[in-house]
Amino acid sequence: MAYRAGRHFLQIPGPSPVPERIVRASSAAVIDHRGPDFADLGHSVLSGMQRIFQTQSPVVIYPSSGTGAWEAALSNLVGPGDRVLFYETGQFAALWKQMADRLQLKGDVISGDWRTGVDANRIEDALRADTAGSIRAVCVVHHETSCGITSNIRAVRDAIDATGHPALLLVDSISGLASVEYRHDAWGADVTISGSQKGLMLPPGLGFNALSERAIDASKLCATPRSYWDWDDMLAANANGYFPYTPVTTLLYGLREAIAMLEEEGLDNVFARHQRLGDACRAAVAHWGLETVCQNPAEHSNVLTGVMMPDGVDADAVRRIILERFDMSLGTGLGKLKGRAFRIGHLGDINELTLMGTLSGVEMGLGLADVPHRAGGLEAAMQVLKQ
């Protein structure tokens, strides 16, 4: 590929751009993962991730994508024939349910419209209807990346508690963690699943399970055959700062740097920055006269903005023009939003001017693709950023 001047704008909602500091940290020499120096790195990332998840309980780190971390959570807790309740907030919730089918779980689905988040009342109703208490786990996506919708996880926990039902709460915060507020302990999650390539600003390749004491106890009673994903082996080795098999040492160097960067900025400031950039992006979209995919203002994503295209416009054609002309990648519409929406990522290592560059590429692209819109979205975004 011929050199293109300037930098590529990777404005997809994960993988997000990897900052220079993390690239450099990840390039250090690989060390003996059973040698005396490794334990410092191991302890540092394991305790650091407890602070990022806001939990006192252990966090398990896998050499995997987020999908692997989904499978890890399921295979330590449930097995063939077990009932698991899913809430279809969008494509990622649907894919997680599909995995449950392949693992021969009995997945019940509360269907959604892909434009609003989890309605905790519907989870409460489903659990009340399960008088036998046979549903073993409730699986919800905290931040639905296919639509740009954030769901209220504390409300889900409260709904489960209100019924007195024993189901565990499993939460996918693969794209929410480290960009928008997430509190594993305070919100009562039993397992929170995450990945490295979104808010953590790392390349793809690490998967996470944040656990609760209840989840660890339940896993000891779970007879599902498992090996690579087994929490027991992980927790035993992690206690001394090591891993049961070869970890991705280079990504762990990067993770240590990412945790340091997030803590230098301060998690609350990180969340406030994402809020400000999300507000500005939505102001531009509203000015253009286009609809966001998310229809509930309380659930708007600060990680990405899903933009609906008017009928008859192919969202992927708009993306293609923007990539060719301005060297910027935007997220494609997933599942039933394919061709109908595109997604503007504004997560991770991004500031005001990165967002303004992104929005200018989008506005020029709308013009070139003849998408009916009102010019001047950038001015609307700048008004928000100047406040």
User: Which range, of 159-167, 172-180, 260-268, 377-385, touches ligand PLP by CB under 6 A?
Assistant: 172-180
User: Which range, of 171-179, 228-236, 274-282, 326-334, touches ligand PLP by CB under 6 A?
Assistant: 171-179
Compare residues 38 and 92 and give the one whose CB is closer to ligand PLP. 92
**Residue 67, interface with ligand PLP (CB under 6 A)?**
yes
Compare residues 175 and 209 and give the one whose CB is closer to ligand PLP. 175
Whole-angstrom distance, CA of residue 278 vs CA of residue 314: 24
Compare residues 112 and 377 and give the one whose CB is closer to ligand PLP. 112
Site map (CB under 6 A) of ligand PLP, residues 69-108, x = contact: -----------------------x----------------
Can you name the residues that pair with 10 across neighbouring β-strands? 329
Query: How do strand 168-172 and strand 191-195 relate by DSSP bridges?
Result: parallel
**Residue 172, interface with ligand PLP (CB under 6 A)?**
yes
Whole-angstrom distance, CA of residue 301 vs CA of residue 13: 11
Minimal distance in Å, beta carbon 193 to ligand PLP?
A: 8
Minimal distance in Å, beta carbon 172 to ligand PLP?
A: 5
Q: How many residues does the chain have?
A: 387
Whole-angstrom distance, CA of residue 368 vs CA of residue 380: 20
Whole-angstrom distance, CA of residue 251 vs CA of residue 248: 6
Q: Give how far the C-alpha of residue 160 lies from the chain's centroid of Cα atoms, to the nearest Å.
A: 23
**Residue 14, interface with ligand PLP (CB under 6 A)?**
yes
Position among 78, 137, 156, 174 found at the interface with ligand PLP (CB under 6 A): 174
Contacts with ligand PLP in 182-221 (CB under 6 A)? 195, 204
**Residue 175, interface with ligand PLP (CB under 6 A)?**
yes
Task: Give the HSE-up count for residue 262: Cα atoms under 13 Å, Cβ half-sphere.
Answer: 27
Tell me the residue number closest to ligand PLP, measured at CB: 66
How many chain residues interact with ligand PLP (CB under 6 A)?
Answer: 12
Minimal distance in Å, beta carbon 195 to ligand PLP?
A: 4
Residues found near ligand PLP in the complex (CB under 6 A): 14, 65-67, 92, 141, 145, 172, 174-175, 195, 204
